[in-house]
């Protein structure tokens, strides 16, 4: 990618994101989980419009969403943004689990098991599930690349 955010942008604090993920997991019903996911999206830094490029756009996602990747030593970091609040919240859930992971950890990450453990299995529409899979696949591919 020719235009990439500053490396420091990838190092946003994870504490609030991890706490929000735990709230999604312990929410009693789908409405509460949905609300927590929407709030979670607000915890991710927003990418400026200049980074909303075709090159960074996640293919297979119904809503426009963008993903950037960088690596520090053997750890991988991501920035994600979307025009749709629910998609940004779902991306935040993925980043809560994958931010700072090694290539090997990302390669064995099973998004279906992760979302099942969060109580989200069967709650997302097929198009949202496909978009989420596309995001996870793109994260794994980025970590596997030689960049």
User: Which positions are annotated as active-site residues?
Assistant: 61
Q: Which two tokens stand for residue 106?
A: 């990302």
Can you count the helices (H) and strands (E) in the chain? 6, 2
Per the CB < 8 A criterion, the answer to whether 139 and 98 are in contact is yes
Question: CB within 8 A of 145, min separation 6: which ones?
Answer: none
Longest C-alpha distance within the chain, in Å?
44
């Amino acid at each position: 990618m020719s235009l990439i955010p500053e490396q420091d942008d990838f190092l946003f604090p994870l504490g609030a994101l991890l706490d929000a993920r735990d709230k999604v997991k312990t929410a009693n019903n789908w409405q509460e989980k949905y609300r927590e996911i929407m709030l979670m999206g607000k915890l991710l830094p927003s990418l400026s419009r200049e980074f909303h490029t075709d090159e960074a756009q996640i293919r297979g996602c119904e809503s426009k969403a963008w993903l950037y990747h960088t690596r520090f030593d053997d750890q991988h970091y991501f920035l994600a943004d979307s025009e749709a609040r629910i998609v940004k919240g779902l991306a935040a859930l993925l980043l809560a689990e994958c931010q700072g992971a090694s290539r090997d950890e990302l390669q064995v990450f099973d998004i279906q098991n992760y979302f099942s453990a969060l109580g989200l299995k069967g709650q997302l529409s097929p198009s949202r599930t496909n978009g989420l899979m596309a995001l996870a696949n793109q994260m794994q591919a980025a970590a596997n690349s030689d960049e």
